[in-house]
Amino acid sequence: MEKVGGIVQVVAAGEGQPLSPRTFQAMKLRSYVCRLATTAVAAGGFVVATMLPALTGLAESTNSPAVAPLGSNAAPAERSVDLTATQLNAIKIDTIGTYQFPVEKEAVGNIDYDEDLSVQVFPPYQGKLLKTFAHLGDDVKKGQSLYTVDSPDLVQGESALIGDAATLELTTKELARAKELYATNVGVSQRELEQAINDEQTAEGALKAARDAIRIFGKSDSDIDAIIKTRKVDSTLVVSSPMSGQITSMTAPPGMLVQPGSPPAPYSVSDLSLKWILANVSESDAPLYRAGQQVKYNVMAFPGRTFIGKIAKVYPNVDPNTHRLAIRCEVADPDHELNPGMLANFVIRVKDPVESPSIPVNGVVRNGDGTHSAWVTTDRHHFAERLVTIGLERDGRYQILEGLQAGELAVTDGAIFLNNILEAPPSD
């Protein structure tokens, strides 16, 4: 130190040695301030008192480690730490191995009936609904009666049936009489006999057509024979289930006018042994999905239980509003445990498993800047931090894409402990 005008001036350390530009500028500034202070002694050393703390800080900064300026591309210095035997008890060290990571996508869908195994039961002809024989949720068999309809079309068809049956009976008798007379050469010509045969055949064809028309109404051959025998018209049309299944919809109050093909259908019957899962997936993942891929899913009604199905169809159109693609999965449900409307969380394996280096999740630390790091060692005493890039996660393990290789020693549990040592070194 040297005294200038009663003011103590600090001389920079390392005098006589080459100075950096920053240190040289700091010394020039101190010299200028000291000269200024000499002329301002009368002012009570105000300038020195004001500038000296700033100069002191400048001098200290010249002896501090260099810090990369903001925006620099220089790689950060590798951080490392040495652990004592006691501290080693807080972590686990293991060799980095490989793991088969399945490439899967998750989605949420809802359970629905298989529309290919569902049918709406309309009457074959319009009429007034008279009576129902099944209720919503009932199991029915193929051919089981569901409801009856008072159909004027049935009355017309049965009337035609009775008339055609009577005509056939009459033409049959006339043909028999003509044959008998023709055989005795009494009063019947060949032309009259042929006309009788033609009339009988025409009546027979008309009756057959009338019987087929009545069968459309659901009448059996025994029912048709009874109508012909009793000559009594029955206007009640019985509508039966076309398949075995469960009643999944019923909108059939007695007295309602029902017509074929006019919704809503009085009944809907579905085979519940197969269900659909309908879901919307991101359009960015659309190329990954294809028919036949295995699907694993679970529902809240059965926690811890996994069901298995497959993708049946990937629809070709993307919703222009949500930019999502619809897919349909088919799942077997022989015990009828899944109810339509249930939400299902499912996982689809879209590619073959990938074998990659892996590390337990407790061996990776997420840094404040969003990067991930792990700690590696060669002697189980000195540990170095290394940035890693993680990929898939499965069974408590991360897939390592960059930063670690199989066979390296790394901290597999307690990596956060080493980060805490650097942030706040233990007092012991």
Q: What is the pLDDT along the chain (428 residues), one digit of tens a residue?
A: 444 444 344 444 444 444 444 444 545 545 544 554 444 443 444 334 444 443 343 333 333 333 334 444 444 557 899 998 898 999 999 999 999 888 888 888 899 989 889 999 998 888 889 999 999 999 999 999 999 988 888 888 889 999 999 998 899 988 888 888 888 876 778 888 888 889 889 999 999 999 998 888 778 888 888 888 888 887 888 889 999 999 999 988 888 888 888 888 999 999 988 889 898 888 888 888 999 888 888 899 888 888 888 899 999 889 999 899 999 998 888 888 888 889 999 888 888 888 999 999 999 999 989 999 999 999 999 999 999 999 988 889 999 999 999 999 999 999 999 888 887 655 55
Amino acid letter, 83? L
Is residue 33 a contact partner of residue 48, using CB atoms and an 8 Å limit? yes
HSE-CB for 142 with a 13 A CA cutoff: 6
- Measured at the CA of 208, the angle between CA 204 and CA 211, to 5 degrees, comes to 140
The whole-model pTM stands at: 0.55
Burial of 394-412, coded b for 16+ CB within 10 Å and e otherwise, reads eeebbbbeebbeeebbbbb
In angstroms, the CA 10 to CA 344 distance is 77
From residue 347, alpha-carbon distances to 102, 167, 259, 327 in Å are 11, 70, 44, 13
Residues whose CB falls within 8 Å of the CB of residue 314, separated by 6 or more in sequence, listed in order:
286, 289, 290, 291, 325, 327, 328
List of residues 6+ apart from 231 with CB closer than 8 A:
162
Give CA–CA dist 250/238, Å, rounded: 16
Q: Which domains does the chain have, with CATH numbers?
A: 2-62 (no CATH), 80-101+354-423 (2.40.420.20), 120-269 (2.40.50.100), 270-352 (2.40.30.170)
Angle at 352 between CA 371 and CA 307, to 5 degrees: 100
Cα–Cα distance measured from residue 399 to residue 405, given in angstroms and rounded to the nearest whole number: 11
- pLDDT computed for residue 146 by the predictor: 92
Residue 147: per-residue pLDDT: 92
Residue recorded with tokens 């459309």: 216
pLDDT value for 157: 87
d(CA 166, CA 18): 134
Looking at residue 376, its pLDDT comes to: 94
Helices 190-216 and 152-183 cross at an angle (nearest 10°) of 160
263-264-266-272 Cα dihedral, nearest 10 degrees: 110
Residue that has been written with the tokens 């029915």 in this structure: 140
How far is 133 from 136, CA to CA, in rounded Å? Answer: 11
- Residue 313 is predicted with a pLDDT of 92
Cα separation, 357 vs 99, in Å, equals 6
Q: Show the DSSP H helices in 217-258 as ranges.
A: 221-230
Closest CA to 295 of 282, 314, 272: 314
**Beta carbons within 10 angstroms of residue 38's beta carbon:** 15
Task: Retrieve residue 71's tokens.
Answer: 């925006």
* Cα 6 to Cα 61: distance, rounded to the nearest angstrom: 27
d(CA 342, CA 303): 13
Cα(113)–Cα(339) distance, rounded to whole angstroms?
9
CA angle 91, 93, 98 (to 5 degrees): 135
Candidates 97, 4, 17, 16; CA nearest to 358 is 97
| Residue given tokens 């339509």 in the structure block | 340
Within 13 Å and on the Cβ side, how many CA atoms surround 416? 7
Q: What is the pLDDT of residues 172-189, one digit of tens each?
A: 988 888 888 888 876 778
Count of all residues that appear for the chain in the document: 428
